Amino acid sequence: MSRGITAVVPAAGVGRRMASVVPKQYLSLAGRTVLEHTVLGLLEHPAIDRVVVAIGAEDAWFGELGLARHPRIRRAPGGRERADSVLNALALVESRRVLVHDAARPCLHPADLDALLAVADHPQGAILACRVRDTMKRGDGRGAIAESVPREELWHALTPQCFDTGVLRRVLADALAAGQAVTDEASAMEWAGFHPLLVEGRADNIKITRPEDLALAEFFLQQRQESNR
């Protein structure tokens, strides 16, 4: 068994909110696809030795990429929801700890990955997150403000999120079986009584979700390339 950590990359979404011609993980970004930036960025880190990518059954693009023939990348079947895709991919993970990172987050900075991996063995698990910066409002459901929400301890959950593989596999399966809404791995762990660490990360670790996000991601990656010169 290898000594490194395996990363799971859920990449089986259809990108409804992006409304693009191809699923957003296959859009071109700074010379290669969003998915290639995300997966190869993970494999560049010495602590990450394998990546399991969850790919949709109807996916006609993954097989065209070099990733499909990469010796350290395996393919798992995508599921109905993101959590189902992650659970399918976890079946192929042998490392004791696992890191789950959205395919749609190609701007992960190596320093943030280092910071998360520094606490990878914490029993509660850990996620990258960034503090909210705006005043937060709760809507009344009728297009008006119901109340302002104290923001002191409000965070945006990001990815990667890192947990004990066996615990996450069990908790995720139990949460889904119980009908829990699971939009990130931490919410399943919280449901099971865990309190994952919040590791403060960069706000440029955006999830490409809507059309305007692609240009922003391109800007961040170009900035990154210039600072690396």
Ligand X SMILES: C[C@](O)(CO)[C@H](O)COP(=O)(O)O
Ligand Y SMILES: Nc1ccn([C@@H]2O[C@H](COP(=O)(O)OP(=O)(O)OP(=O)(O)O)[C@@H](O)[C@H]2O)c(=O)n1
Residues 185-214 that bind ligand X (CB under 6 A): 207
Q: How far is the CB of 144 from ligand Y (least distance, A)?
A: 26
Site for ligand X contains 183 (CB under 6 A): yes
| Segment 140 to 159, residues that bind ligand Y, using CB under 6 A | none
Cα 33 to Cα 104, 173, 205, distances in angstroms = 10, 31, 16
What part of residues 44-83 is at the interface with ligand Y (CB under 6 A)? 54, 78-82
Rg of the chain over Cα atoms, rounded to whole angstroms, equals: 17
Question: Which range binds ligand X by CB under 6 A, 34-42, 70-78, 145-153, 157-165?
Answer: 157-165
Residue 157 interacts with, from ligand X, ligand Y, none (CB under 5-8 Å by kind):
ligand X
DSSP annotation of 142 reads S
ω into 110 cis (within 30 of 0):
no
Nearer to ligand Y, 83 or 189 (CB): 83
Alpha-carbon distance of 85 to 104, in angstroms, equals: 14
In angstroms, the CA 73 to CA 59 distance is 17
- Calculate the CA dihedral of residues 11, 185, 77, 91 and round it to 10 degrees: 140
- Considering only 6, 8, 13, 161, the residue that binds ligand Y (CB under 6 A) is 13
Return the closest-CA partner of residue 163 out of 215, 87, 226: 87
Regarding 213 and contact with ligand Y (CB under 6 A), the answer is no
C-alpha 23/C-alpha 16 separation (Å) is 8
Q: Per CB under 6 A, does 188 bind ligand Y?
A: no
Choosing from 25, 159, 165, 205, the residue that interacts with ligand X (CB under 6 A) is: 159
Q: Which is nearer to ligand X, 11 or 29 (CB)?
A: 11
Q: Out of 36, 102, 112, 184, which residue is the one contacting ligand Y (CB under 6 A)?
A: 102
- Binding residues (CB under 6 A) for ligand Y: these are 10-18, 25, 54, 78-82, 85, 102-104, 207, 209
